[in-house]
Amino acid sequence: MQLQIALRDLLVGILTLTVVSCELPPRQKAATPEGTILTTVENDQIRPDEEYVMVTTAISMPMYVNHDQAAFKRWGQKMGVKTAILGPSEWDVPAQIETIEQVIASRPAGLLINGTDPGIAQAINKAVAAGIPTVVYDSDVPNSKRHAFLGTDWYQIGLMQGEEMVRLTGGQGKIAYMGILGLTNMEAGFQGLLDVLKKYPKMQVVGKYDDKANVELAAKITSDVLAAHPDLAGICGFDSNSGPGIALAVKEAGKAGKVKITTVDWEPEHLQLVKDGVIQMLAGQKRELFTWYGAQFLFDMVHRTNRLSSNDAASGITNVPTTINTGLLRITKENVDQFLKK
């Protein structure tokens, strides 16, 4: 723990030194609808030191690295602007908030924030109040003043899993589901699942479980549920590690293909489990779109790419879409090869 604290302090120190020494592009200011000040550059010329910053938590999570962060970096390279990705290595929302507040002091061109928890709303509001174009991605923080949000409708993820489970089981049998309990997005997903299942009286929900995004815990929970309900028909997973954990336990019980599995995300391990017939469907998010277009929204706000009036900010107009649903991928054994070859 002391080592983690030391590393975090070092990161904050490096960040602080970096932002203090960074000479950011000159900006002019205009009033936003909320009466705050939106920072924009004086013309459309991209400046060599123009920097956009992504702040997330669990920064080293492969799903974030391979999808969100890779797309953000590619965008920066294509546009010829600087990008930085900051945040704690573990799922640590207070540390993410601390990072956002440190970044605000650096006055980057734009802030792209992973909406991990409603608790980050105040930090987002501070960024907006400081005149920094601020876009939230992945999960919305509706109680904040963010300028825009891009992400998946998690209720739709629940509907997709529920409808697929009904199809796989013929609309009857015992079902369990798991994820990270209490998160706004996952609770919306759970509700979508339940809203489908309640139309099928021959389907029974035997439990809702918190696997804390941990593969080993998801596997243990699944083993326990299978022991308590040998006739279990299916399990739905809602966080990135639910599927691999569920699949591990189902395989160990010798019930691969018999107990139906639907889950989220499409990392290589998930895709191979679909290929092997252990998982029947993945509800995949179009994560690359979150950060690519989120960054583009920031750029368009800074450069006023699309002007809707002589002075959009003074007119109370945001010149980018305020809410974008990036949609879902339905991955099954029929189309999984297309994603394995990506």
Q: How does pLDDT run across 79-119, given as a tens digit for each residue?
A: 999 999 999 998 899 999 999 999 999 999 999 999 988 89
**What mean pLDDT do residues 232-261 have?**
97
Which tokens belong to 82? Answer: 């600087």
Q: With b meaning 16 or more CB within 10 Å and e meaning fewer, what string describes 43-79?
A: eeeebeebbbbbbbbbbebebbeebbbebbbebbeee
**What mean pLDDT do residues 206-228 have?**
96
Per-residue confidence (pLDDT) for residue 190, from 0 to 100: 97
Per-residue confidence (pLDDT) for residue 22, from 0 to 100: 34
Strands 27-31, 37-41: pairing kind = antiparallel
Give the closest residue to 55 by CA, choosing from 92, 5, 3.
92
Least confident of 199-203, 294-298, 309-313: 309-313
The strand order across the sheet containing 323-325 reads: 82-86, 51-55, 110-114, 134-138, 148-151, 323-325
**What mean pLDDT do residues 158-185 have?**
95
Q: Is the sign of the CA dihedral 277, 173, 328, 77 positive or negative?
A: negative
Higher pLDDT residue, 196 or 29? 196
- To the nearest whole percent, how much of the chain has pLDDT over 90? 74
**What mean pLDDT do residues 225-231 have?**
98
Cβ neighbours of residue 129 closer than 8 Å, sequence gap 6 or more: 36, 145
Least confident of 9-23, 84-98, 117-131, 252-266: 9-23
- To the nearest whole percent, how much of the chain has pLDDT over 70? 87
Check whether 270 has a pLDDT greater than 80: yes
Check whether 131 has a pLDDT greater than 80: yes
Per-residue confidence (pLDDT) for residue 40, from 0 to 100: 60
The span from the CA of 188 to the CA of 289, in Å, is: 21
Binned at pLDDT 50, 70 and 90, residue 41 comes out as low
The span from the CA of 165 to the CA of 189, in Å, is: 14
**What mean pLDDT do residues 59-67 have?**
91
Binned at pLDDT 50, 70 and 90, residue 39 comes out as low
Least confident of 42-56, 96-110, 211-225: 42-56
Strands 37-41, 82-86: pairing kind = unpaired
Least confident of 51-55, 62-66, 84-88, 253-257: 62-66
Average pLDDT, the chain: 88
153 and 286 in contact (C-beta within 8 Å)?
no
Question: Which amino acid does the sequence have at 134?
Answer: T
Per-residue confidence (pLDDT) for residue 26, from 0 to 100: 43
The span from the CA of 38 to the CA of 151, in Å, is: 23
| Domains defined for the chain, CATH in brackets | 48-152+287-305 (3.40.50.2300), 154-285+331-338 (3.40.50.2300)
Q: Where are the beta strands (DSSP E) in 189-327?
A: 203-210, 232-237, 260-264, 281-285, 323-325
Check whether 151 has a pLDDT greater than 80: yes
Per-residue confidence (pLDDT) for residue 312, from 0 to 100: 77
